[in-house]
Amino acid sequence: MPDQDGLHLGAVKLTSRLIHGTGKFPSSEVLAGSITASGAQMITLAVRRLHLDGDHHSELEGIDLGGYILLPNTAGATSADEAVRLARLARAAGLSDFIKVEIVGDSESLLPDPIATVEATARLVAEGFTVLPYASDDVVLALRLAEAGATAVMPGAAPIGSTLGVLNPHNLRLIIAKCPVPVIVDAGLGCPSDAARVMEWGAAGVLVNTGIAKAREPAAMARAFAAAVQAGRSAHLAGLAGRPEGFGASSPQAGTPAPLAPN
Partner 1 sequence: MSKLSAEPRELVGGAARRERLRRSRLYLVTDDTTPSEDLPGLLAAALRGGVDLVQLRRKGVPPDQLMALAATCREVCHAAGALFLVDDHVELAAAAGADGVHLGQEDTSVAEARSRLGPDFLIGLSTHDAAQVKSATSLDLDYIAAGPVHRTPTKMGTPAVGFEHVEAAARAAAVPVVAIGGLSLADAGTAIAAGADIVAVVRAICASSDPEEAARALRGQVDTAPAWSWIELNGEARKCPPQATVQGLLAGLHLDPTGLVVERNGVIVDRQLWAEVAVGAGDTLELVHFVGGG
> Given the complex with partner 1, which of 46 and 111 has the nearer CB atom?
46
Whether residue 17 contacts residue 200, with contact meaning beta carbons closer than 8 Å, is answered with no
Q: Name the one range near partner 1 by CB under 8 A: 7-15, 40-48, 165-173, 227-235.
A: 40-48
Containing H/E element for 114?
Answer: helix 114-126
Of residues 108-147, which lie at the interface with partner 1 (CB under 8 A)?
none
Question: Counting contacts by CB under 8 A, is residue 25 touching partner 1?
Answer: yes
From 12, 60, 143, 231, residue interacting with partner 1 (rule: CB under 8 A) = 60
Q: For partner 1, which residue of 103, 104, 154, 160 counts as binding (CB under 8 A)? A: 160
CB of 26 to partner 1, least distance (A): 11
**Minimum CB distance to partner 1 smaller for 21 or for 114:** 21
Q: Nearer to partner 1 by C-beta: 89 or 115?
A: 89
Count of residues in the chain: 263
27 binds partner 1 (CB under 8 A): no
40, 205 in Cβ contact below 8 A?
no
User: Taking the CB of residue 55, how many other CB atoms lie within 10 A of it?
Assistant: 6
Q: Judged by CB under 8 A, which of 12, 95, 227, 235 binds partner 1?
A: 95
Q: If binding is defined by CB under 8 A, does position 214 make contact with partner 1? A: no
> Is residue 45 within the footprint of partner 1 (CB under 8 A)?
yes
Determine the Cα–Cα distance for residues 46 and 44; give it in Å rounded to an integer. Answer: 7
Q: Do residues 87 and 101 touch, judged by C-beta distance below 8 A?
A: yes
Task: Confirm whether 24 is a catalytic residue.
Answer: no
Least separation, in Å, of the C-beta of 62 and partner 1? Answer: 12
Nearest to 35 by CA among 60, 14, 56: 60
Judged by beta carbon, residue 45 or residue 228, the one nearer partner 1 is 45
Phi, psi of 245 (to 5 degrees): -100, 140
Residue of the chain from 7, 69, 75, 103 that contacts partner 1 (CB under 8 A): 75
Distance between CA atoms of residues 86 and 161, nearest Å: 21
Give me the least distance between CB of 9 and partner 1, in Å please: 18
Q: Which long-range contacts (CB under 8 A, 24 or more apart) does 176-179 make?
A: 176/201, 176/202, 176/203, 177/202, 178/139, 178/142, 178/143, 179/142, 179/143, 179/146, 179/153
Q: Which is nearer to partner 1, 55 or 245 (CB)?
A: 55
Nearer to partner 1, 126 or 240 (CB): 126
In 59-83, which positions are buried (b, 16+ CB within 10 angstroms) versus exposed (e)?
bbeebeeeebbbbbbbbebeebebb
**Taking Cα atoms as reference points, which of 77, 86, 132, 87 lies closest to residue 110?**
77
Task: State the residues that interact with partner 1 by CB under 8 A.
Answer: 21-25, 31, 44-50, 52-54, 58-60, 65, 70, 72-73, 75, 85, 88-90, 92-95, 160-161, 187, 207, 209-210
- Known catalytic residues are 100
